[in-house]
Amino acid sequence: MDIEKIKQEMLDKKIWAVVGATSNREKYGYKIYKKLKDKGYEVYPINPGYEEIEGDKCYKSISELPVKPDCVNIVVPPRISNKVIEEIANEGIEYVWLQPGTFTEETIDLAESKNLKFVYYDCVLVALD
């Protein structure tokens, strides 16, 4: 798997969902969501704890989204990431970006078993600069 090639494919996609988006400006869930929006991406926040983020409707899960995103960025703990990987696969989404600290070996194995194209160990904030 060529991570650099997959990373570039993902950055070329225009519709993203951020699982773990938050309105807390100190957290990566906020910084990533905001940066994607500022760079012109269509971005959907997913977090069952919020009604809205930055004035945008926040969704409880990927299956609730009004459109199918091209990519899902995961900014949640590994125990939640594994459930999200299952949901991504069920929704037929191909690309997943696992932020540092959001995965375990089990998460990687699960993503591979679902034939997902994914990036890990890289931060999307750095890639977007």
The CATH number of the domain holding residue 109 is: 3.40.50.720
Confirm whether 62 is domain-assigned.
Answer: yes
Is position 61 within any domain? yes
Query: DSSP string of 57-73?
Result: E-BSSGGG-SS--SEEE
> What pLDDT was estimated at residue 124?
94
Q: CA quadruple 60, 63, 64, 65: dihedral positive or negative?
A: positive
Domain count for the chain: 1
Please indicate, yes or no, if residue 45 is contained in any of the structural domains.
yes
How much is the pLDDT for 127?
A: 93
Task: Spell out the per-residue pLDDT of the chain, length 129, in tens.
Answer: 688 999 999 999 999 999 999 999 999 999 999 999 999 999 999 999 999 999 999 999 999 999 999 999 999 999 999 999 999 999 999 999 999 999 999 999 999 999 999 999 899 999 998
Domain with 32, as residue range(s), is 3-73+83-127
Q: Is 54 within a domain?
A: yes
Q: What is the pLDDT of residue 43?
A: 98
Residue 78 lies in a domain: no
Q: What share of the chain is helix, strand, coil (3-state, %, to 5)?
A: 40, 20, 40
Q: Is 36 within the bounds of a domain? A: yes
| CA 113 remoteness from chain centre | 18
pTM for the model stands at 0.96
